[in-house]
């Protein structure tokens, strides 16, 4: 069975006139299989966009081989590439007085005659692509009038109209708000599963990638590419090492990064459910180390629910004061009186 995309011993980077080539990643060997939705992640500047452009054939590799459906990419004509791989870049929308339908129709160019006229099959594919990304109602609106989220739907519809089995996207969620990012990632994931497409996208949104992707490709600052299931890469420390920083730690239990804080004191916390989760986060945010053992701290907080109402009992040196809201608890802990206590703990 053919593999939609395969890189063997690949090195990517830039040729610099009169100088040695600049390698950003070397000796990469990886496959993208049919029906897979894969997210490429890594710190800024490691070469994610360069890798996407090289895999698509838009940029020549410095070394190694790229195969699309078992065919060497260097042996493919421009038209063959256009029928094999669709590429969505951050600046891939045309300028001028185009409506969305016209932009999406450009995806049929590899399949039409030299006149560019559209047949019934072409129009059916365009309408299907618009519907697949939820953009049917945008068809006859000017691209210049669309929001960022609507524009992304249009360029992805154009890629679908191209009728390839392989789609590569560079930062498609970069300028979208959270609901639009979630919607776009869900659409791409569903297209991969339902249509059997192979989709690779680069992103900085680690949380959405962890929740959506079948696999992650992690590209670190040394140009090393590590691949695997999101959950496995989280458990074995690969995500933590890829994004290592003096400012953040990877919390493997929460599946997220947390900022380094200068701890002012320890506090024990008793409670369950969502209230305990968000109380712990609030305490950590303002600089407290939260422990579960009440004997490990002179400062204790107990979440109490009475008749459906939550209260926070704060115990200091045997004295208990009740706070009716999480905000009042945080304000108290940030107060000057408690800062003096913290310095003595």
CB 71, CB 166: distance < 8 Å: no
Residues 291 and 160 in one domain: no
Residues 282 and 207 in one domain: no
Residues 161 and 290 in one domain: no
Radius of gyration of the chain (CA): 26
* Cα 82 to Cα 77: distance, rounded to the nearest angstrom: 9
| 288-291 sheet: strands from edge to edge | 288-291, 265-270, 299-306, 309-316, 319-323
Domain assignment present for residue 250? The answer is no
Residues 36 and 173 in one domain: yes
Q: How many other CB atoms are there within 10 angstroms of residue 168's CB atom?
A: 27
Could you tell me which residues are beta bridge partners of residue 158? Answer: none
pLDDT of residue 95: 65
Domain assignment present for residue 279? The answer is yes
Domain assignment present for residue 61? The answer is yes
Tell me the per-residue pLDDT of 23-67, one tens digit each, with 9 for 90 and over: 889 999 999 999 999 999 999 889 999 999 999 999 999 999 999
pLDDT of residue 337: 45
Residues 129 and 227 in one domain: yes
Residues 142 and 33 in one domain: yes
Q: How many other CB atoms are there within 10 angstroms of residue 236's CB atom?
A: 13
Residues 322 and 235 in one domain: no
pLDDT of residue 203: 94
* Cα 51 to Cα 327: distance, rounded to the nearest angstrom: 46
Tell me the per-residue pLDDT of 201-212, one tens digit each, with 9 for 90 and over: 999 999 899 999
Q: Residue 282 sits in which domain range?
A: 265-344
Closest Cα partner for 55 from 199, 235, 181, 259?
Answer: 199
Domain assignment present for residue 195? The answer is yes
Domain assignment present for residue 20? The answer is yes
Count how many domains the chain has.
2
Residues 44 and 191 in one domain: yes
Closest Cα partner for 223 from 54, 35, 18?
Answer: 54
In the block, residue with structure tokens 């519809």: 157
Q: Which pair of tokens denotes residue 126?
A: 């365009």
Domain assignment present for residue 87? The answer is yes
> Where does the chain have alpha helices with state H?
48-55, 78-84, 100-105, 120-132, 148-161, 178-195, 206-212, 230-235, 238-242, 273-285, 326-333, 336-344
Residues 11 and 107 in one domain: yes
pLDDT of residue 94: 67
pLDDT of residue 338: 46
Residues 204 and 309 in one domain: no
Sorted by sequence, the CB contacts under 8 Å of residue 95 that are 6+ apart come out as none
171 three-state secondary structure: coil
Domain assignment present for residue 258? The answer is no
Among 245, 279, 298, identify where a domain stops.
245
Q: Which pair of tokens denotes residue 162?
A: 């191209």
* CATH number where 219 lies: 3.40.50.300
Sorted by sequence, the CB contacts under 8 Å of residue 91 that are 6+ apart come out as none
Residues 138 and 210 in one domain: yes
Q: Which of 56-60, 173-177, 334-338 has the lowest mean pLDDT?
A: 334-338
Widest distance between CA atoms in the chain: 86
Residues 277 and 241 in one domain: no
Domain assignment present for residue 256? The answer is no
């Amino acid at each position: 069975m053919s593999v939609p995309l395969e890189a063997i011993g690949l090195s990517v980077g830039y040729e610099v006139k009169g100088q040695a080539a600049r390698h950003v990643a070397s000796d990469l060997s990886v496959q993208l299989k049919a029906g897979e939705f894969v997210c490429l992640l890594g710190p800024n500047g490691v070469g994610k966009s360069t890798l996407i452009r090289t895999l698509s054939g838009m940029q020549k590799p410095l070394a190694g081989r790229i195969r699309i459906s078992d065919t060497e990419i260097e042996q493919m004509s421009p038209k063959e590439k256009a029928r094999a791989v669709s590429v969505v870049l951050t600046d891939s929308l045309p300028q001028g007085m185009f409506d969305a339908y016209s932009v999406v129709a450009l995806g049929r160019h590899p399949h039409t005659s030299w006149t560019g006229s559209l047949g019934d099959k072409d129009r059916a594919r365009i309408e299907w692509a618009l519907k697949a990304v939820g953009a049917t109602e945008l068809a006859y609106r000017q691209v210049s009038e669309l929001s960022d989220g609507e524009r992304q739907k249009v360029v992805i519809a154009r890629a679908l109209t191209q009728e390839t089995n392989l789609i590569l996207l560079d930062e498609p969620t970069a300028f979208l708000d959270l609901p639009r990012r979630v919607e776009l990632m869900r659409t791409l994931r569903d297209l991969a599963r339902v249509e059997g497409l192979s989709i690779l996208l680069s992103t900085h949104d680690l949380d959405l990638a962890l929740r959506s992707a079948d696999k992650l490709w992690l590209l670190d600052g040394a140009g090393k590419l590590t691949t695997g299931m999101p959950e496995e890469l989280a458990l074995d420390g690969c995500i933590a090492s890829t994004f290592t920083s003096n400012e953040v730690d990877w919390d493997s239990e929460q599946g997220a990064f947390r900022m380094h804080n200068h701890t002012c004191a320890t506090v024990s916390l008793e409670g369950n459910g969502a209230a305990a989760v968000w109380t712990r986060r609030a305490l950590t945010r303002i600089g407290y180390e939260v422990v579960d053992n009440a004997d490990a701290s002179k400062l204790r907080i107990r979440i109490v629910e009475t008749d459906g109402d939550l209260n926070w009992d704060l115990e200091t040196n045997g004295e208990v004061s009740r706070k009716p809201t999480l905000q009042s608890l945080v304000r108290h802990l940030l107060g000057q009186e408690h800062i003096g206590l913290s310095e003595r703990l």
